[in-house]
Amino acid sequence: MVQAYTTETDDGVADPRPSGSRLRGLLDRWRGDRGIWRRGLLLALFAVVIALTMILHAQIPNRIGNLGSLIETFLPWIGVFVPLILVGALVRRSATALIAVLLPLVVWLNLFGGLLTGKSAATGGDLTVASHNVNAGNPDPAGTAREVAASGADVVALQELPAGQVGTYEKALAATYPHHVVEGTVGLWSRYPITGEAPVDIRLGWVRALRATVMVPGKPVEVYVAHLPSVRVKLNAGFTAGQRDASADALGEAIARSRHERIVLLGDLNGTMNDRSLNAVTSQMRSTQGAAGDGMGFSWPASFPMARIDQIMVRGVEPVSSWTLPRTDSDHLPVAARVTL
């Protein structure tokens, strides 16, 4: 018995050809279309521009509104243009645009494809750490503290602690973490004893960073907690980040002076690993998310995370896994990681 295929052609007449024949017919029409290479030139040009932006992002100057840092902060999101260009190329029936879209696709996969693969280990690690910007306007600080403690972290760093709420966080975390230190608006809580605590000068005039040694049995770890100044996007000034950049340089200098074998940095750096302005820190530290995370690990804003500005970075220890924790009443997501000492 012969099976009939009854699809319709463009003029509404039944087309008895099987789907494979229709696909060959479509390709034949494309091959016979003389304008297939001339259409979509603007789409192809846009694809090239997108690819070059990703390749040469470090060369985009910061002189005008810190444009380079702004682009680097949201660099992974440039990839959303790839499917849009692809759809446009298909609609326009443009072979030129279809070939050109491969360029930004390959570049994006080269830069960020590794973050999409699962690198977290299900088990292992000597120390679990967590960091959270709790938000000065948090309506439920005690609840936020309990949620972070429930993560099972051995060491917890909190940023943006209002002076009037420090006692609330201390009380909520006391049962889980018998040791803690608070300097200015940042604090560190630990299951293990803490020694050598001191503020770190990041050139702000008030304390938003500290360092302390967590006495993990047999393997002491120097922990830095930092909250770099916020950045703003202003119509008349662009991406204003001068104060953040100066603080990042100071933090990097402090870490560079350390003689400790094992260092962990926990904090809201108000910048991503791609942001050149954080080079003083990122050039000597390793991101746990990049080394052992699954996915981008975006942490801000909590309602629709678009960038990872909350960082866990290490030197002299090995990341095992890295992840974001469930949302609290803060505008940031908590981040956590397990490391081998």
**Per-residue pLDDT at 14:** 52
Q: In this structure, what DSSP letter does residue 56 have?
A: T
Q: Which whole-number Å values give the CA distances from 138 to 169, 171, 191, 224, 300, in the listed order? A: 12, 16, 25, 23, 15
Q: Which of 306, 328, 282, 22 minimizes the C-alpha distance to 147?
A: 328
What is d(CA 295, CA 306) in angstroms, rounded to the nearest whole number?
Answer: 12
CB contact set of 295 (below 8 Å; sequence gap of 6+) = 115, 116
Q: Are 187 and 194 in contact (CB under 8 A)?
A: no
Q: Are 334 and 131 in contact (CB under 8 A)?
A: yes
CA 337 remoteness from chain centre: 14
Two tokens, residue 89? 């190329």
Q: Which of 227, 276, 274 minimizes the C-alpha distance to 247?
A: 227
Answer left, alpha or beta for residue 90, where phi above 0 means left and psi between -120 and 50 means alpha: alpha
Q: How many CB atoms lie within 10 A of CB 159?
A: 27
Spell out the per-residue pLDDT of the chain, length 341, in tens.
445 444 455 455 555 556 667 656 656 666 667 788 889 999 999 999 999 999 999 999 988 778 888 899 999 999 999 999 999 999 999 999 999 999 999 999 999 998 888 888 878 899 999 999 999 999 999 999 999 999 999 999 999 999 999 999 999 999 999 999 999 999 999 999 999 999 999 999 999 999 999 999 999 999 999 999 988 766 555 567 789 999 999 999 999 999 999 999 999 999 999 999 999 999 999 999 999 998 999 999 999 999 999 999 999 999 999 999 999 999 999 999 999 99
**Per-residue pLDDT at 27:** 61
Two tokens, residue 181? 């230190």
What is d(CA 322, CA 302) in angstroms, rounded to the nearest whole number?
Answer: 17
Q: Rounded to the nearest 5 degrees, what angle is found at the Cα of 222, between the Cα atoms of 173 and 189?
A: 5
Whole-structure pTM value: 0.86
Q: Rounded to the nearest 5 degrees, what angle is found at the Cα of 336, between the Cα atoms of 334 and 340?
A: 165
Q: Are 219 and 56 in contact (CB under 8 A)?
A: no
Question: Token pair 């879209």 is at which residue?
Answer: 101
**Per-residue pLDDT at 67:** 87
Q: What is the fold of 127-340?
A: Deoxyribonuclease I; Chain A (3.60.10)
**Per-residue pLDDT at 5:** 47
Q: Which amino acid is at 175?
A: A
> Inter-axis angle of helices 102-112 and 41-55, to 10 degrees?
20
Q: Which amino acid is at 298?
A: F
Give ranges for CATH 3.60.10.10 in the chain.
127-340
